[in-house]
Amino acid sequence: MNNNYQISAIIEKDEYGYYAYCPQLEGCQTQGDSLEEIKTNIQEAIELYLSTLTEEEKKALLVKEISLMNVEVKVA
């Protein structure tokens, strides 16, 4: 049975390329040289990660809600 899931992924860029990880899926991470590559890599990593879980494990992990926000702070 195939199911579609909405998974949050964080993508960061530094001088070495891109790094992506999923807060909902501990240890699910990857890297790449371009934004296009990292998007493909993280999708493959998520699919592989989820394929190792039982339905009960998936349900338990996927109830977490992940939000991203920017916070402006003033530093003296």
Domain-located, residue 24: yes
Domain-located, residue 69: no
Domain-located, residue 32: yes
Domain-located, residue 70: no
- The pLDDT, as a whole number, for residue 37 is 97
Q: Which domain holds residue 23?
A: 10-61
pLDDT single digits (tens) 65-76: 788 889 999 998
Cα 20 from chain centroid (whole Å): 6
Q: Is the pLDDT of residue 4 over 90?
A: no
Total count of domains within the chain? 1
Show the CA angle centred on residue 51, arms to residues 45 and 54, nearest 5°: 135
For 28, which DSSP code?
-
Domain-located, residue 47: yes
pLDDT single digits (tens) 19-48: 999 999 999 999 999 999 999 999 999 999
pTM of the model: 0.82
Domain-located, residue 50: yes
Show the CA angle centred on residue 36, arms to residues 9 and 54, nearest 5°: 40
